[in-house]
Structure 1
Amino acid sequence: MGNCTAKPLANDNDSDHDVEFVSGNVQLITTKEAWDQKLEQARHDGKIVIANFTAKWCGPCKTIAPYYCELSEKHPSILFLLVDVDELADFSTSWDIKATPTFFFLRDGEEIDKLVGANKPELEKKIGAVTKSPT
């Protein structure tokens, strides 16, 4: 149930950077335009969006990444997005990210729920809640 609030001072040889953050049905967002396009696509298709704001240097992010990818395959009716807070720093700031990972649950582009931290049971519970809630 950890989260990261600051970038580490020392760079520990990047040996853990080979964690697969994007696999399954997770889609990496690299621009604000791509974000807008994916949200519009989800709105058009009537899909819930889960956006994972993450960082490559964050231990809890690395821990939850494979599970997030697994969930994306188990729930094809949800659009799973991944935003690297360092790659899209200004955009992430606009979402008031205080710690990573932070998961936003969106319907029609509006936040309906949020989870801060790498809490697998809570993430699964929130996915269950948003998939059962009426549109």
Structure 2
Amino acid sequence: MTQFDAQDIRIKEIVGDDDEEEEIDFEGCVDKFYNHLKASLQLPCNVTGIEDFRWEERYVIGPGNRKEYEQLRKNQPSYKDIFELLSIERESISEWMMYGYEDITGLVRRTSDGKEFYLGLAEIKAIDEKSVNYQLLDDYAVWFVNSR
């Protein structure tokens, strides 16, 4: 069994199987994942961005000015930052989230300066790749991005 097969099995155990008679909509599946993560995540844990956040794209892969980027990073979350994931919420939103209300919201605290932000769970990953939190967040992000 490959790691992808194992991940697929774990995800189906949380949200159900496409073959089930009663199909649950996307939002219902997010709610199931939220309940699973709320019960299973070991918080706080250190996380970082999976890839550049939406606001960073113009600076990371576009024509944005490097000095301006470094200045903005002082008050905005960056995928390069390390955060402590403090809690998760449903039905919250912030300007930093790519997927808005569709995503589960994580309250994070940047370790370098203590600033707090709300980020989408589908956009962050645990730093410790051997931790249960890494697998939980990765399973959610893979499911979320592929189910939208």
TM-score after normalising by structure 1: 0.23
Structure with bigger RCO (C-alpha 8 Å, 6+ apart): 1
Relative to its length, the structure with more strand (as a share) is: 1
